[in-house]
Structure 1
Amino acid sequence: MMGRVSQMAFWGKQKEKNVEGTREKKPGLIKRLWRKFRGIDWKNPLNRWRLLFAVLFFTVAMFGVGYGAIAFTSTPSFCKNCHEMSTEHVTFEASAHNQIKCTQCHIEPGAKNMLLHKIESMKEVYYHIVGVPDQIVQTVPVMNVNCIQCHSENRLVSATGDVIVNHEGHIKKAKIPCITCHSGVVHAKAVERGLNTQKDMDFWTKENAEKLISKKYTSPNMGTCIDCHNKVNNGEKPWKDEAYILPENTHGKHDEKKEEGHGAETATTEVHEEVAADSEAAVKEHTQDIILQAIGKQKKDVELSMACATCHKEVATPKNHDRKQWNQSHGDVAFTNLDKCMNCHQDSKWVKKLPKENIMDLINAVDKEKYVADMLTVKNHSRNNSFCSACHGKRPPGHVESDEWLTAHAPLAKTDKAKAECYVCHDREKPKPGTENPTAPTDVYCEFCHRTGFKGDKKS
Structure 2
Amino acid sequence: MEQEYKDQTSPPRTRYKLYKYLTVALLFIVVFFSVGLIGVETTSSSQFCSSCHEMKPEYYTWKASTHSEVDCVKCHIGSGTEEYAKAKANGLLQVYRKATQTYTAPIRMPKEIPDSACESCHDVSKRDVTASGDIIIPHDKHKNKEIECIQCHSGVAHGKIADRKMTFQTDYEKWDSKTGKTAMADLKFIRPDMDTCIECHKARKVTNECSACHKTGMIPKSHKEANFKTKTHGKQAAEDLKKCNQCHNEMSKVPLEGYGDVSVVASFLNKDNALAKQKNHYNYAKENTFCQDCHNKRPTSHDSNFYKNHGTIANKGQETCKACHDTKKTNTPGGNQVVCSSCHPSSHSQKQGWKERHPISLDGVKGPSAKCYTCHSKPSCEKCHKQ
Normalising by structure 1, we get a TM-score of 0.48
The whole-number CA distance in structure 1 between the counterparts of 2:75 and 2:38 is 20
Match of 1:222 in 2: 194
Contact 2:222 / 2:228 at 8 angstroms: preserved in 1? no
- Report the counterpart of residue 308 of structure 1 in structure 2: 210
RMSD: 4.6
Q: How many Å apart are 1:315 and its aligned residue?
A: 2.8
How far off its partner does 1:68 sit? 1.5
Matches within 5 A, 1:347-362: none
| Residues 315/139 of structure 1: CA separation in 2 closer, same or farther (3 Å cut) | farther
User: CA separation in 2, counterparts of 1:179 and 1:73?
Assistant: 26
Question: Are 1:113 and 2:15 counterparts?
Answer: no
Summarize the Cα distance change of 1:206–1:43 in structure 2 as closer, same or farther, 3 Å threshold: closer
Task: Name 1:320's counterpart in structure 2.
Answer: 222
String of CA shifts for 1:336-365, please: whole Å, max 9, x gaps.
668976885799xxxxxxxxxxxxxxxxxx
Task: Decide whether the 8 Å contact of 1:162 with 1:314 is kept in 2.
Answer: yes
Structure 1, residues 350-400: CA drift from partner, whole Å, max 9, x if none? Answer: xxxxxxxxxxxxxxxxxxxxxx99625999899999xx99948959999xx
**Alignment check: 8 A CA contact 1:309 1:315 kept:** yes
Matched, 1:375 2:266: yes
Q: Which residue of 1 aligns with 2:56?
A: 86
Structure with greater helix share of residues: 2
Shift of 1:60: 2.6
Over 3 Å counting, the alpha-carbon distance change for 1:393 and 1:204 in structure 2 is farther
Q: What TM-score do you get using the length of structure 2 for normalisation?
A: 0.56
Partner of 1:63: 33
- Determine if the alignment matches structure 1 residue 99 to structure 2 residue 2: no
- Percent identity between matched residues is 28
Tell me which amino acid in the other structure corresponds to 2:209.
A
Match of 2:340 in 1: none
Give the whole-Å Cα distance in 1 for the aligned partners of 2:240 and 2:231. 17
CA contact (8 A) 2:266 2:275 kept: no
CA distance in 1, matches of 2:59, 2:286: 45
- Which amino acid in structure 1 is aligned with residue 235 of structure 2? D
Change (3 A) 1:311 1:49: farther
The reply to whether residue 123 of structure 1 matches residue 93 of structure 2 is: yes
| Aligned residue runs from structure 1 range 12-411, under 5 A | 48-129=18-99, 130-155=101-126, 156-171=128-143, 173-213=144-184, 214-233=186-205, 304-321=206-223, 330=233, 332-334=235-237, 375=266, 391=284, 394=287
Give the CA deviation at 1:210.
4.5
- The 3-state SS of whatever aligns with 2:153 is coil
Question: CA 1:341 to 1:226, structure 2 compared with 1: closer, same or farther past 3 Å?
Answer: closer
Instruction: Give the whole-Å Cα distance in 1 for the aligned partners of 2:283 and 2:21.
Output: 83
Maintained 8 Å contact 2:57/2:180: no
> What are structure 1's unaligned runs of at least 5 residues?
1-40, 234-303, 348-371, 399-408, 423-460
Distance 1:153 1:218 in 2: 19
Question: Whole-Å Cα distance in 2 between the matches of residues 377 and 81 of structure 1?
Answer: 59
Q: Following the alignment from structure 2 to structure 1, what is the Cα–Cα distance between the partners of residues 178 and 71?
A: 23
* Deviation of the 1:117 alpha carbon: 0.4
2:348 paired residue number = none
Shift of 1:329: 6.9
Residues 273-297 of structure 1, C-alpha deviations (whole Å, 9 max, x = no match): xxxxxxxxxxxxxxxxxxxxxxxxx
How far apart are the structure 2 equivalents of 1:382 and 1:376?
4
Letter in 2 for 1:92: W
Q: CA deviation at 1:413?
A: 8.8
In structure 2, distance between residues paired with 1:153 and 1:79: 29
User: Compared with structure 1, are the counterparts of its residues 92 and 390 closer, same or farther at alpha carbon in structure 2 (3 Å cutoff)?
Assistant: farther
Aligned to 1:401: none
User: Which of the two has higher C-alpha Rg?
Assistant: 2
Could you say what secondary structure the match of 1:145 adopts? helix
Q: Is the 8 A contact 1:42 1:48 kept in 2?
A: no
Aligned residue pairs total 271
Name the CA distance, whole Å, in 2 between partners of 1:50 and 1:325: 95
Name the amino acid aligned to 1:185: V
Change (3 A) 1:79 1:324: same
Output the amino acid matched with 2:90: E
Shift of the alpha carbon at 1:327? 11
Task: Call closer, same or farther: CA 1:325–1:313 in 2, change over 3 Å.
Answer: closer
Q: 1:324 to 1:138 in 2, by over 3 A?
A: farther
